[in-house]
Structures are given as C-alpha cells and as structure tokens.
Amino acid sequence: MCGIVGYTGKQSVVPVLLEGLHQLEYRGYDSSGIALQRGDRLAVHRRCGKIRVLESDLPKRLAGKTGIGHTRWATHGEPTDDNAHPHSSEDGRFAVVHNGIIENSDPLRARLVEHGVHFASETDSEVLAHLVAAADAPTLLERVRLALAEVEGTYGIAVIDAESPGEIVVARNGSPVVIGIGDKEMLVASDVGALVRHTQQVVYLDDGEIAELTPSAYRVITLDAAPATKQSASIDWSEETYARGEYSHYTLKEIHEQPESIRRTLRGRLDRRFQAAHLGGLNLDARELLNFRRIKVLGCGSAYISGCIGARIVEQLSRVPCDAEPAAEFRYRNPVIEADTLYLAVSQSGETFDTLSAVQEIKRKGGRVLGVVNAVGSSIARACDGGVYLHAGPEIAVVSTKTFTSTIAALALLALHVGRMRDVSVAQGKRLLDALDALPDAIQTILDAEDEYRQMAKKYAHYDNAYFIGRNLGFGVAMEGALKLKEVSYLHAEAYPASELKHGPLALVSPEVPTVFVLPDDDLLDKNLSSIEQVRSRKGPVLAVTHPLGENAERLAALADDVLEVPKLHEYLDPILMLIPLQFLAYFIALERGCDVDQPRNLAKSVTVE
C-alpha cells in the first residue's frame, strides 16, 4: 500500500526519491508525488497514476538535496492529483507524506476550517500539514510532536520545512518507518527495499517515536519528548536481490526461486542427531511447549491459507489440535485467549495491519504468540514473543509464491519440533527430514516443466469461471490455486473441499466451467476419483494435478481432460509440490489474458490499513 521515501544529503534528491518510489511500486499505489527544499521554499509535484506520469511532468531542472516522496493508495478520497501526497500547509512552508489512517481527521478538519484553514484535498492526511503549521514551537521536531499529540489513528510520516534546511522529521505509529544511515546522508522509507541501494545500516522506528534526520545525524525521541536510544541493524539483502534479472516478471522470478528460498528456510534447522527440527528463535523450552494444549494459526490472504495447510500438518504430526483463522475475523470476535494455546502469526511482510492487531490483542490478553514472518525486524516479528523467520528473501510481486511455500516448510519444521517432543518417532522424524532435504530438487523438476504449464494455460485461459477442488491438505492447495488465479488473471475461481461438491457447487458445473482437481496419491484417492466422476457426468472439463498413479493412471485418464503430474515426496510436503503447477497456471493464464501479473488491479502487497 502507500509508500514513503525521504532523503537528505549530498546527492541530487529528485533521482533518489524517484528511484525509491519505483522500489515501492510493488506495494500497490494509484498516485505519487515528491516535495523538496529549493532555497527558502518547497517545490511539490504530485500526479495521479503511475510514477512515470509524475516523472514526465517534473520540470527539467529540479535541484535540491532534501526531499520526501510518496506512493498513495486511496483510502480517504478518490485517486486524484489533489489527493496525492505530499500535502502542504497553506503557506507552502511544510510538506507531509503519510501512510496510515488519521481516525479523528473529521473533527480536526472541522476545527481547522473554523480557524480559517482552507483544505486542498479530501484526504485525512492533509490535517497533518495544517496541524504542523499551526503548532507553536521553535523546531520542526517539536512542531511535529505537538501536531501528533492531537492525532488518533495510525501513521508513518515524513515532514519537511522550507525553513529547516537539510532536515526531515519522521514519526511512526502502526505504520513502518525505517531510517537508512549513509555516509553524510540520511534516508527514510516505509520499506527497506527502498533503502538498499544506498545503505545496509538501518534503524527501525517503534510506535510512538519521532526522529529528526540531518545528513550527518539522527535523533529519536518519544511522543512524550523523552530521548529514545536506538540500535542500528544491518539489512541482509543487497540491491541485486531486489532486481528482476532475466525474468519478465517478479512473479515468474519468485516462482523459480523456490528451490533456493526453501533451502534458506531449512538451512541450519534440520537436526539430524535427534531427527528433529532446530528452531532457535522460539524462545520456548520443551517444558513450555509441552504445556500447550492447542495451537492457533492467524494470517491474511495467502498467509492465512498457508496457515490452513500448516495447521493440518501440525495437528496430524504433533497430535496437538491446531487450526487456522483469518486474523481480522479472529480479532473482531472478541476471542477467548487461553493460556494453554500457542498462537502463531503468519505474515510475509510482517506489517499486515489485521495480523499485527490480532497479535496485539492476544498479547493484551496475556497470550503467547510466535511469528512466522519473512521480513526480519518487521512490526509483527517485533511484536511477537519469538518465532521462525522464513528467510525466503524479498518478495516483490504482489501475489505471494515463494513465501507461501516457505511458510509451509517452516510450519512443517515446527510440527516436527513439537511432534518429536510427543509421539513422533525417530524413524518418522527421519522420513520427514529426508523429504525436506529432497524438497528443493523435487521443486526443480517441476520448474523444469514450465513449458507444459504454458501450453496448458493457453487451453484454459478463455474460461471465465473455475472450480478448484481438493481434500484435507489438498483443499488448502485448491484454495491457494484459486486465489492465485483470481488475483492475477481476474478469472473467477472458487475452491471447495471435494466432499462439498454435491452440496452446491455441482449446480454450476457445465462445459463452460472447468474444475481443477488436486489429486494426491493418498488414502483418499478413490474418493477423489469418484468426485471427478461427478463433475465428468455434468460435462465439466477436468484438469487434474496429481502424482504418478500406477494402475489408477488409466482410470484418471478416462475421466480427466488434462493431467499434470508432479513427483510424490511426503504427504506433508506434497502440497508444496502440487501447488507449483497452479502458480504457473495462474501466471501464464494472466499473461494470456493480458493482465498486469506483478501488480494486479486493486491489490496491494502489504496491507497496512484495516
């Protein structure tokens, strides 16, 4: 969603800001803008649409060394030039960029209007510019602090002042702000991806903190004006990690990165001595872990679906009851937080508002929550009591691919860890570890069949509706397969458990509605084959993603129009292998339909508002 970037230092600021904004594009946005200090005034340029619209509109010579930029995702007010950030005070002295939502913007706006302020936009954010201008204080830092004392809601902000040369003030409450420390230059962004080109040294602001940046120093205080001591951290990833390289899309790149991302998730965590998993970040000893009677997984979107699959693996392997729930549903139903339940928050970005709020709700009620998070140092990771980092590397495409499969691998490790403390034998542990070891190569064999999926996509791209059907772990694969297709190709796709077919979905099965079956070679194969028969007898086209089926292969061939085979590895890891053809299918169908795969309409990578 909205992105912030800011720079003060020796370089010409405009290219730095524009490059930073491009790095933030993947989060999803509908307009962009920059503001910079030029002599004793500010220059502000904002445009609705893609960043290139803003770029083509900028004056040729636009020099300055200090500025802020923003990509906006409309919440209050349509995507228009006027609603784009930065927002300025009436006299043009102050400019503000804001991520988040100012909840009391209506009364603040009414009060400011009463005092004669004229608003230039419909946004909640604009009140910040006027509040800063109205604050009675000698420094920009103090003005921003006083302004924020009046504000309720969430924010990550960056502010510049025409009369404070070389200075940017930033603040955070519920929306990420990261300071980048360079050599005689200081940066700020809502996402480390926008900083890596300039520095590897960062400082993460915490909620309730305000910082003053100048080219040579930063100073952090709290909203109560108390000094805050901050530790800087190093970012693991370099600029190349964020590049698209030889691939036409980030989505394709990230699908192909899965052998490597899984290797990174597993690295150092396979405990061959005890045939168990070694998870150093849980901050829970064996006794504490054994006391949990239930495990609850929370997340949004694909993170929730990976949690659904992971929960079944945890429950089946460890025999601890485990289920998954969308994080927002959970937090709004006033959940009972039990001391003997272990909560797991799954999130790629570590910034999803609903997941973070669920974590905070659990903690407020005294519960224990671990994060299964990709972004190191992110808000969710820091709010949790411990957890498992995915280490899958940055994921840029809006739809999740490699972090989805890494989450399942991480949850399988957790299942093994808990399972080996209970009933899982050394032999069972070894079988899963052997399979985890073999997983990256097995994924590679599927990636090598890319052409087959490209061809298959051509055949299915013209449909407008599709069902995805599976059972047990296969149902999770069906859910994610349907979500991927819907997100990137805008084709309507619905997932159902196979057992539910006859309770409604069959009504819509026809030659115009294909069904994708997730058909592992497991104990439920016969049941699944008879579900396929039900679809066939209504003349519904069938595409099956399956294992080499031996003597059942002929039976399937008689029922399915198309079959995609993946290697069989282990019942808990097969969902990963069966999903990858569906990721490809969604990708290639989106291309066939001329869709913007990396940045699907209306979707954002990181949903930092409610």
Active site residues: 2, 605
Q: How far is the CB of 430 from ligand G6P (least distance, A)?
A: 32
Q: Which two tokens stand for residue 298?
A: 């929370």
Of 297 and 509, which has the nearer Cβ to ligand G6P? Answer: 297
Among candidates 268, 270, 166, 189, which has minimal Cα distance to 235? Answer: 189
The phi, psi pair for 33, rounded to 5°, reads: -170, 165
Among candidates 568, 503, 516, which has minimal Cα distance to 542? Answer: 516
Q: How far is the CB of 609 from ligand G6P (least distance, A)?
A: 11
Of 143 and 331, which has the nearer Cβ to ligand G6P? Answer: 331
Check: CB of residue 179 under 8 Å from CB of residue 231: no
Q: How far is the CB of 286 from ligand G6P (least distance, A)?
A: 29
Measured CA to CA, the distance from residue 489 to residue 503 in angstroms comes to: 27
Side-chain-facing half-sphere of 246: CA atoms under 13 Å:
2
Q: 258-266 and 402-421 helices cross at what angle (nearest 10)?
A: 30
Tally of CB atoms within 10 A around 226:
8
Q: How far is the CB of 607 from ligand G6P (least distance, A)?
A: 5
Of 58 and 603, which has the nearer Cβ to ligand G6P? Answer: 603
Q: How far is the CB of 300 from ligand G6P (least distance, A)?
A: 4
Q: Which residues pair with 213 in a beta bridge?
A: 168, 218
Q: How far is the CB of 480 from ligand G6P (least distance, A)?
A: 10
Q: How far is the CB of 598 from ligand G6P (least distance, A)?
A: 12
Measured CA to CA, the distance from residue 144 to residue 171 in angstroms comes to: 8
Among candidates 192, 195, 189, 224, which has minimal Cα distance to 210? Answer: 224
Q: Point out which residues bind ligand G6P (CB under 6 A).
A: 300-303, 347-349, 352, 355, 398-400, 603-607
> Which residue number places its CB atom closest to ligand G6P?
301
Of 200 and 355, which has the nearer Cβ to ligand G6P? Answer: 355
Check: CB of residue 17 under 8 Å from CB of residue 69: yes
Side-chain-facing half-sphere of 283: CA atoms under 13 Å:
11
Q: Which two tokens stand for residue 17?
A: 């800001």
Among candidates 369, 363, 364, which has minimal Cα distance to 347? Answer: 369
Check: CB of residue 396 under 8 Å from CB of residue 26: yes
Of 86 and 371, which has the nearer Cβ to ligand G6P? Answer: 371
3-state secondary structure 92-137: CCEEEEEECCECCHHHHHHHHHHCCCCCCCCCCCHHHHHHHHHCCC
Q: How far is the CB of 399 from ligand G6P (least distance, A)?
A: 5
Of 1 and 276, which has the nearer Cβ to ligand G6P? Answer: 1
* First CA to last CA distance, the chain: 11
Q: How far is the CB of 184 from ligand G6P (least distance, A)?
A: 34
Q: 126-134 and 105-114 helices cross at what angle (nearest 10)?
A: 50
E runs forming strands in 409-551:
465-470, 492-497, 515-519, 542-546
Q: Which residues of 567-589 are buried (b: 16+ CB within 10 A; e: fewer)?
A: ebbbbbbbbbbbbbbbbbbbbbb
Check: CB of residue 37 under 8 Å from CB of residue 65: yes
Q: Following DSSP, what letter does each residue of 515-564 receive, concatenated?
A: EEEEE-SSTTHHHHHHHHHHHHTTT--EEEEE---GGGHHHHHHH-SEEE
Of 123 and 349, which has the nearer Cβ to ligand G6P? Answer: 349
Q: How far is the CB of 352 from ligand G6P (least distance, A)?
A: 3
> Tell me, what amino acid is at 311?
A
Of 212 and 257, which has the nearer Cβ to ligand G6P? Answer: 257
Of 200 and 302, which has the nearer Cβ to ligand G6P? Answer: 302
Among candidates 461, 459, 481, which has minimal Cα distance to 470? Answer: 481
Of 261 and 606, which has the nearer Cβ to ligand G6P? Answer: 606
Of 292 and 587, which has the nearer Cβ to ligand G6P? Answer: 587
Q: How far is the CB of 99 from ligand G6P (least distance, A)?
A: 15
Among candidates 188, 202, 194, which has minimal Cα distance to 242? Answer: 194
Rg of the chain's alpha carbons, rounded to an integer? 26
